[in-house]
Amino acid sequence: MAKWALVAHGGAGVIERAHLRPEQDAAYREVMGRVAQAGAAVLKAGGAALDAIEAAIQILEDDPLFNAGRGAVFTAQGDIELDASIMDGGTLAAGAVAGVTRTRHPISAARAVMEHSPHVFLGGEGADAFARSQGLEAVEPSFFFTERRWKSLVRELERQGLPIPRRPAVAPAKEDARTALAHDEGKRGTVGVVALDADGVVAAGTSTGGVTAKRWGRVGDSPIIGAGTYATNAACAVSCTGAGEYFIRLSVARTICALVELKGLSLQAAVDQLVQRDLTKLGGEGGVIAVAPDGQMAWSFNTSGMYRARIADGEAMVVGIYKDDP
Ligand code: ASP
């Protein structure tokens, strides 16, 4: 039985120690640890990397602290359009959805595309309809609404001089206690998990609301196989977060895997090359997490923080937020 391992992120951005209240800091650490433990429980029981990833990402999608599922950012029209992708490094099977508005767990929709359709990538209403046909939970768009994201939208539209859409009529009037703990790490955020299971298979998954005030059906890197997500047992599994337009142009996730596979770089050297060198040089901001079939785990980010956690067979869990955390 191979050693299992799992790494999770909850988005990278302007996340500084001085900006988070102690209860916010504690809330993010608690949920990142809980997510890692939930994934680890699947792996410890001999479960598949894909199952660990889906279980862990569903928790993050349901938590309004993160820009994925409930708590996702709004488009300029005042809608929430969610993107997600997943990939199995053992078979190179992959699935993705973009612009879903009614599927509670976009990561599960991506997995259903991978496992139950002849396609890799579905978009918009069709993706929601497919998810429903697979028995996945459908919700009203208001399910994803949070007051603080609405306020961020209004601020961003004012900054850009764009019209402010009508506030959704069914939106909850007040922020709940959990949502009030959310930290504004900028216009973005994403969640992702990579895992190595006891059968030696690596996989990766990513889920996001994209970027605040996005227009024209904008889609970022998160649902794009090769950009925001990639997994191959020949190298590693990678999930990204950050300014999607840069990650797409650098094919970040696939390139990290190629550096490991074709150039023999260590996992940490490969993620650092893409993030600290290439992404930074191009002017992009963000971070990545990765795991390799031999159990190597790595993360790298060029922002002030990234919510993150890692855990492996026989190793103590590590949870971090800021640059100077371990
Ligand atoms: N990568 C996401 C996107 O561009 C956003 C983020 O991770 O911050 O849609």
- For the cut 90, the answer to whether the pLDDT of residue 132 exceeds it is yes
Query: How far is C-alpha 105 from the chain's CA centre?
Result: 12
Query: Residue 179 — very low, low, confident or very high, per pLDDT cuts 50/70/90?
Result: confident
**pLDDT at residue 324 in the model:** 92
The alpha carbon of 211 and the centre of ligand 1 are apart by a number of angstroms equal to 6
- Of residues 185 and 269, more confidently modeled: 269
Ligand 1 atom 7 nearest Cα: 241
Which amino acid is it at 14?
Answer: V
Query: Residue 174 — very low, low, confident or very high, per pLDDT cuts 50/70/90?
Result: low
- For the cut 90, the answer to whether the pLDDT of residue 2 exceeds it is no
Cα–Cα distance, 289 to 309 (Å, whole number): 10
Q: Domain 5-322 carries which CATH code?
A: 3.60.20.30
CA nearest neighbour of 179 among 140, 146, 145:
146
**pLDDT at residue 172 in the model:** 66
SS3 state at 153: helix
Q: Is the CB of 226 under 6 A from ligand 1?
A: no
SS3 state at 194: strand
CA nearest neighbour of 261 among 278, 236, 237:
236
Q: Quick check: 145 and 171 in contact, CB under 8 A? A: yes
State the pTM of this model: 0.97
pLDDT per residue as tens digits for the range 136-159: 999 999 999 998 899 999 999 999
Pick the catalytic residue: 190, 206, 232, 241? 190
Average pLDDT, stretch 150-170? 92
Q: Is the CB of 89 under 6 A from ligand 1?
A: no
Q: Take residue 261 and report the two structure tokens written for it.
A: 């596979």
The alpha carbon of 199 and the centre of ligand 1 are apart by a number of angstroms equal to 31
Q: Take residue 42 and report the two structure tokens written for it.
A: 């699947």
Cα–Cα distance, 270 to 102 (Å, whole number): 37
Can 206 be counted among the known catalytic residues? Answer: no
Ligand 1 atom 4 nearest Cα: 244
CA nearest neighbour of 309 among 321, 293, 300:
321
The alpha carbon of 244 and the centre of ligand 1 are apart by a number of angstroms equal to 5
Query: Residue 326 — very low, low, confident or very high, per pLDDT cuts 50/70/90?
Result: confident
